Structure 1
Amino acid sequence: MHDFCFTIPYGLLLVVGGVVGYVKRGSTASLGGGVGTGLLLILAGYLSLKAFEKRMNSYFALILETVCAAVLTFVMGKRYMETSKIMPAGVVAGISALMTLFYVYKIATGGNHIPAKTE
């Protein structure tokens, strides 16, 4: 599976979560953090997709995705440990931890598998 297949939906989930957090609680931290990180991940996923279409890997996109997911894992994991609230801190920390592991795996295995060119 290619990184952009998970990164773009992950980014969209963060954007929606940030907007919901702002609408429900008036939290500008949710809005800024969720929308900002989500849009950054969507951009990284888009860069990775465009590189894949050119039969290349975008290691810049992979590293950006990994850093974003790792930071979210740390920040939301810390928040979960302080509040013990599953929503949103526990869920975002869990999903971000899984995404971090996925991105590290993709980097370790050489990025997205580029299929052989058929002639």
Structure 2
Amino acid sequence: MAADHVGLCYAALVTAGGIIGFIKAGSTTSLAAGLLFGFLAALGAYLNNTWISLGTCGTLALVMGTRFLTSFKLMPAGLMMILSVLMVLKIVSSMTKRHMTLHKISTWG
């Protein structure tokens, strides 16, 4: 099974965001979080492991959503929240399609 290319792009954006946060603000927390979550997102995408991907994107959606609601700053919290929610929706949609396909196959026999 091929790697999830959208998920790999998401992982690259998360990693780049952490690096940019470190360069612009000197935030080692942003760097560490960006590298950790970028790695986990890339791992989930490369292995096509929906649970790793869902956990990573869901956690980032919650954390960045909370930051966005307290600051109302689109960059970086709002953008990462939007991207993470879109990834969660993509993952859940693909899980639902896969489940429906397996259900159809099992009811034919």
TM-score normalized with structure 2 length: 0.84
**Aligned-residue offset at 1:45:** 1.3
CA RMSD of aligned residues (A): 1.7
CA contact (8 A) 1:3 1:106 kept: no
In structure 2, relative to structure 1, the CA distance for the partners of 1:94 and 1:3 (3 Å cut) is: farther
Higher helix share: 2
In the alignment, residue 11 of structure 1 is paired with which amino acid?
Answer: A
In the alignment, residue 62 of structure 1 is paired with which amino acid?
Answer: T
1:73 paired to 2:65: no
Q: Report the equivalent of 1:108.
A: 96
**Aligned-residue offset at 1:82:** 0.5
The size of the alignment, in residue pairs, is 99
Q: Report the equivalent of 2:105.
A: none
| Structure 2 runs not aligned, ≥5 long | 102-109
Runs of at least 4 residues of structure 1 off by over 3 A?
Answer: none
CA contact (8 A) 2:3 2:46 kept: no
In the alignment, residue 41 of structure 1 is paired with which amino acid?
Answer: A
In structure 2, relative to structure 1, the CA distance for the partners of 1:96 and 1:3 (3 Å cut) is: farther
Q: Report the equivalent of 1:17.
A: 17
Q: Which whole-Å deviations, capped at 9, do the CAs of 1:32-72 have from their partners, x for residues lacking one?
A: 11111011111111112xxxxxxxxxxxx111101111111
Helix, strand or coil at the partner of 2:4: helix
Q: Distance in 2 between matches of 1:23 and 1:39?
A: 19
**Aligned-residue offset at 1:105:** 0.8
Percent identity at matched positions? 32
CA contact (8 A) 1:79 1:89 kept: yes
TM-score normalized with structure 1 length: 0.78
After TM superposition, list the pairs within 5 Å mapping 1:1-119 onto structure 2: 4-48=4-48, 61-110=49-98
| Structure 1 runs not aligned, ≥5 long | 49-60, 114-119
